[in-house]
């Protein structure tokens, strides 16, 4: 009898497993809330009965994964996709610790937007929110990221696409901005014996110093180079925030604080006694100081790009017709296209984003493109 009970238990488990496998094979969407597949994976289910179409789709990803277009500043681009010429492009950006990588595309669910590492592994994909795809990615280290924007097949769309960064935190001195930072990470200190491990943010004595995120007051001190100082632990990320040279503080150890809460006031205590009042602001990770600038440097969301004339059959004009990595005449030249034909896939400012017949992507100034 005991043997029979065990037999039926094992048989029941086996039947349940088989049922789950069959259900997943037939209707994988039922498991999405558990497995959380990428938007690309979900879209590729449409090609289960059309392997040639899936191959075409994946070939487009391979093309974008080799693009050398580089983003060094916030950018906005007007991009175009058609059923005959589906849009695909890759954009390289150096993301610093403390920055949040943002990328958006106005969409009616016609696009796949992703952040990948240089090995091609997916870091994060964008999610559809209010008819726009929004990518929001941050890393715990400096990293080079390739953003992939790919149109779904057989779609027609002209849309606005943006790449920019935001600081992870708010600014630590109330009402001030980037211009108040007058000494940065790495500046010489002590006659060259040490380097500056923070940012000095200048304001009048008594100006409020504020928490930049949710956290807990881990320490309050009045000693050494920092004089009167407050340390805040950010439990979400594990960083310690260091506020030094304060004139005074109004918090206690163990207090919980929220972004914008006043911690104390700008002063010139410690080794700043002979300098104008300022806040020395630092961030520590695993006991070591890191550059706080990317964490707090205020940035702006770029405005939408204005469309340039859509040339029907464009080609290079043969005179300094350079294909560049960025929409700038000082950026690296990928190739002199001479009189080669190109396909326009977007534009930003006075620059067209184009792709050559060999699949090379880059930017060309509008003055070096003509109709064939």
Q: Is 276 found in the same domain as 224?
A: yes
| Integer Cα distance of 249 and 243 in angstroms | 10
Q: Please, how many CA atoms are within 13 Å of residue 125, restricted to the half-sphere of its CB?
A: 18
| Integer Cα distance of 334 and 355 in angstroms | 12
pLDDT score for 180 = 97
Domain that holds residue 148: 67-169+298-305
pLDDT score for 109 = 81
pLDDT score for 189 = 66
- Cα distances (angstroms) measured from residue 198 to each of 70, 163, 205, 232, 241: 29, 27, 19, 15, 10
What value does the CA radius of gyration of the chain take, rounded to a whole number of Å? 27
Q: Is 324 found in the same domain as 285?
A: no
Q: Is 292 found in the same domain as 184?
A: yes
What pLDDT tens digit does each residue of the chain (372 aa) get? 565 666 666 666 666 556 545 555 555 655 555 767 899 999 999 998 999 999 999 999 999 999 999 999 899 999 999 988 899 999 999 999 999 999 999 977 899 999 999 999 999 999 988 889 999 999 999 999 999 999 999 999 899 999 999 999 999 999 999 999 988 776 656 555 566 688 999 999 999 999 999 999 999 999 989 999 999 999 888 899 999 999 999 999 999 999 999 999 999 999 999 899 999 999 999 989 999 999 999 999 999 999 999 898 999 999 889 999 999 999 999 999 999 999 999 999 999 999 999 999 999 999 999 987
Of 163, 225, 215, 173, give the one whose Cα is nearest residue 194: 225
| Integer Cα distance of 11 and 17 in angstroms | 10
**Does residue 52 form part of some domain?**
no
pLDDT score for 23 = 55
pLDDT score for 20 = 47
**Does residue 331 form part of some domain?**
yes
Per the structure, how many domains does the chain have? 4
Q: Is 211 found in the same domain as 188?
A: yes
pLDDT score for 2 = 61
Q: Is 312 found in the same domain as 231?
A: no
pLDDT score for 372 = 79
**Does residue 58 form part of some domain?**
no
- Nearby residues of 313 by Cβ (< 8 Å), 6 or more positions away: 341, 371, 372
| Integer Cα distance of 52 and 165 in angstroms | 38
**Does residue 363 form part of some domain?**
yes
**Domain's final residue, options 229, 262, 296:** 296
Q: Is 193 found in the same domain as 263?
A: yes
pLDDT score for 137 = 97
User: What is the pTM assigned to this prediction?
Assistant: 0.88
pLDDT score for 14 = 64
């Amino acid at each position: 009898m005991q043997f029979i009970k065990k037999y039926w238990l094992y048989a029941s488990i086996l039947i349940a497993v088989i049922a789950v496998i069959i259900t997943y094979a037939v209707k994988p969407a039922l498991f999405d809330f558990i497995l959380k597949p990428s938007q690309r994976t979900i879209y590729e289910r449409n090609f289960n009965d059309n392997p040639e179409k899936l191959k075409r789709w994946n070939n487009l990803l391979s093309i974008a994964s080799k693009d050398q277009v580089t983003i060094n500043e916030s950018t906005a681009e007007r991009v175009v996709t058609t059923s005959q010429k589906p849009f695909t492009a890759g954009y390289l950006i150096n993301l610093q610790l403390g920055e949040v990588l943002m990328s958006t595309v106005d969409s009616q669910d016609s696009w796949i937007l992703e952040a990948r590492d240089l090995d091609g592994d997916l870091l994060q994909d964008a999610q559809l929110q209010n008819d726009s795809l929004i990518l929001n990615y941050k890393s715990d280290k400096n990293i080079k990221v390739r953003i992939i924007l790919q149109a779904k097949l057989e779609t027609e769309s002209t849309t606005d696409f943006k790449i920019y960064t935001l600081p992870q935190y708010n600014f630590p001195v109330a009402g001030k901005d980037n211009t108040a930072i007058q000494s940065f990470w790495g500046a010489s200190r002590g006659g060259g014996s040490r380097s500056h491990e923070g940012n000095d943010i200048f304001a009048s004595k008594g100006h409020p110093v504020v928490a930049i995120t949710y956290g807990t007051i881990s320490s309050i001190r009045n000693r050494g180079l920092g004089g009167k100082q407050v340390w805040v632990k950010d439990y979400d990320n594990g960083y310690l925030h260091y506020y030094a040279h304060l004139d005074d503080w109004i918090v206690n150890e163990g207090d919980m604080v929220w972004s914008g809460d006043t911690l104390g006031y700008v002063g010139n205590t410690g080794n700043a006694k002979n300098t104008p009042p300022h806040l020395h602001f630092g961030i520590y990770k695993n006991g070591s100081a890191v550059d706080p600038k990317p964490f707090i440097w205020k940035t702006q969301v770029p405005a939408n790009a204005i469309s340039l004339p859509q040339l029907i059959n464009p080609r290079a004009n043969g005179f300094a017709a350079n294909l560049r990595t960025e929409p700038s005449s000082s950026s690296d030249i990928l190739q002199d296209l001479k009189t080669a034909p190109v396909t326009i896939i977007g534009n930003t400012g006075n620059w067209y984003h184009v792709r050559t017949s060999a699949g090379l992507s880059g930017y060309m100034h509008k003055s070096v493109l003509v109709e064939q």
